[in-house]
């Protein structure tokens, strides 16, 4: 059995990493990671998946770390976040799907310099249910695919009953709920189904948007899916763990690659993230999860550019995300909301990539770079 790192082990390493990443002599929680006061206004847009965490981070950073930095993050969905980033209407983008080569090429052409991307947090996509009596219902990839393809229509279907011999299953009709906007959560969910169920891959495939089977209920963003589940007896839908937790919804356990039914806990998300093989370009998926890992796990990426920012903006971008990734209290909040932090080694790699923000403008530390994009 493969074991995930414990939450305590991860968080214990954060203060040491924060000290190593600090450019100043002061406490990062008082003066920011660069050791000085900053003044900037940042805009970001994208995934609703990490929105509860991002809003908490933004509030704490503005109140306790850098009062001169205002950050406005709009939870509009991964697809819209990527679009706004490529159109350069925001300072940073956010998505549960990384930028592919085509999108990176568009970014470089539009901006005149390279876009960079890096993961900031891991999270689970849970199968949430309207009926509290079904909390802990065991499902596998085949039954989930059957539900969303409308081949399985009731909770007492033989395929579900076989996975739950000790549960008194109702004959209620299942009402599947999906994201109706362009969604990274949908990309994670459908990638899982496509890699696990051949018939799903052939008929529906994967992506931020899908041509769903008829008769399903759609909802805008994670909030909309949670609402759709709550409003429909028999409601069942996929959404980020934090939203299910906040809405008080029952959640299913999902059978992983080792045949273990896994409840979507923080520890199970951490165990899944430990399975990820993260290449140098940070383009990866979390597949084939076994051991104690929850099998439907995703990553949130942040996007910035290597040129085109005012120095104050670039300094604030680097400082905020460095703080979010290394401050002990920020990481504890992530855990409390059900998000798995990056391990110390990956965090170091991510910060090195983050610090490339605006680097083609001649650097951001005390330089005189202007706001023009690079011609290189």
For the chain, the domains span 13-120+300-361, 124-274
- Averaged pLDDT for residues 37-54: 96
Query: How do residues 320-362 score in pLDDT, each as one tens digit?
Result: 999 999 999 999 999 999 999 999 999 999 999 999 999 998 5
Give me 174's structure tokens. 């299942």
Query: How do residues 215-254 score in pLDDT, each as one tens digit?
Result: 999 999 999 999 999 999 999 999 999 899 889 999 999 9
pTM of the shown model: 0.86
Cβ contacts of 260 within 8 Å, gap of 6 or more = 290, 291, 292
User: Per CATH, is 124-274 categorized as 3.40.190.10?
Assistant: yes
Instruction: Confirm whether 13-120+300-361 and 124-274 share one CATH topology.
Output: yes
What local confidence, expressed as pLDDT, does residue 31 receive?
Answer: 43
Q: Which of 28, 26, 24, 81 is nearest to 54 (CA)?
A: 81
Which CATH fold topology does 13-120+300-361 show?
A: D-Maltodextrin-Binding Protein; domain 2 (3.40.190)
Query: How do residues 250-298 score in pLDDT, each as one tens digit?
Result: 999 999 999 999 999 999 999 999 988 999 999 999 999 999 999 999 9
pLDDT at 370 over 60: no
Q: How far, in Å, CA of 350 to CA of 49, rounded?
A: 20
3-state SS of the chain? CCCCCCHHHHHHHHHHHHHHHCCCCCCHHHHCCCCCCCCEEEEEEECCCCHHHHHHHHHHHHHHHCCCEEEEEEECCHHHHHHHHHCCCCCEEEECCCCCHHHHHHHHHHHCCCEEEEEEEEEEEEEEECCHHHCCCEECHHHHHHHHCCCCCECCCHHHHHHCCCCCCCCCECEEEEECCCCHHHHHHHHHHHHHCHHHHHHCCCCCCCCCCCCCEEECHHHHHHHHHHHCCCEEEEEEHHHHHHHCCEECEEECCCCCEECCCHHHHHHHHHCCCCCCCCCCCCCCCCCCCCCCEEEEEEEEECCCCCHHHHHHHHHHHHHHHHCHHHHHHHHHCCCECCCHHHHHHHHHHHCCCCHHHCCCCCCCCCCCCCCC
What local confidence, expressed as pLDDT, does residue 155 receive?
Answer: 98
Average pLDDT, the chain: 89
Instruction: Please say whether the beta carbons of 34 and 319 come within 8 A.
Output: yes
């Amino acid at each position: 059995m493969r074991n995930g790192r414990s939450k305590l082990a991860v968080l214990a390493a954060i203060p040491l990493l924060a000290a190593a990443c600090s450019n100043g002599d002061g406490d990062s929680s008082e003066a920011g990671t660069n050791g000085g006061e900053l003044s900037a206004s940042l805009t970001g847009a994208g995934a609703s998946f990490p929105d509860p965490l991002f809003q908490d981070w933004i509030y704490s950073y503005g109140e306790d770390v850098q009062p001169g930095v205002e950050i406005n993050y709009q939870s509009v969905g991964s697809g819209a976040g990527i679009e706004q980033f490529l159109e350069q209407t925001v300072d940073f983008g956010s998505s549960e799907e990384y930028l592919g080569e085509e999108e990176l090429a568009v970014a470089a052409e539009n901006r005149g310099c390279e876009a960079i991307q890096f993961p900031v947090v891991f999270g689970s996509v849970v199968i949430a249910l309207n009926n509290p009596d079904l909390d802990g219902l065991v499902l596998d990839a085949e039954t989930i695919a059957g539900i969303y393809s409308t081949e399985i229509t009731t909770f007492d279907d033989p395929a579900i009953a076989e996975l739950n011999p000790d549960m008194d299953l109702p004959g209620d009709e299942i009402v599947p709920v999906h994201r109706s906007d362009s969604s990274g959560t949908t990309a994670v969910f459908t990638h899982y189904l496509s890699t696990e169920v051949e018939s799903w891959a052939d008929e529906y495939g994967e992506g931020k948007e899908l041509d769903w089977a008829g008769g399903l209920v759609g909802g805008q963003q994670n909030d909309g899916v949670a609402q759709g589940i709550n409003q429909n007896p028999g409601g069942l839908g996929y959404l980020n763990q934090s939203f299910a937790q906040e809405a008080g919804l029952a959640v299913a356990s999902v059978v992983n690659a080792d045949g273990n039914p896994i409840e979507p806990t923080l520890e199970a998300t951490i165990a899944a993230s430990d399975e990820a093989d993260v290449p140098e370009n940070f383009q990866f998926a979390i597949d084939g999860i076994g051991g104690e890992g929850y099998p439907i796990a995703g990553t949130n990426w942040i996007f910035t550019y290597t040129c085109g920012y005012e120095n104050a903006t670039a300094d604030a971008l680097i400082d905020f995300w460095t703080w979010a990734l290394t401050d002990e209290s920020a990481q504890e909040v992530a855990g409390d909301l059900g998000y798995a932090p990056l391990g110390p080694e990956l965090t170091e790699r991510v910060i090195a990539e983050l610090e490339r923000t605006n680097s083609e403008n001649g650097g951001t530390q005390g330089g005189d770079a202007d706001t023009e994009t690079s011609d290189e």
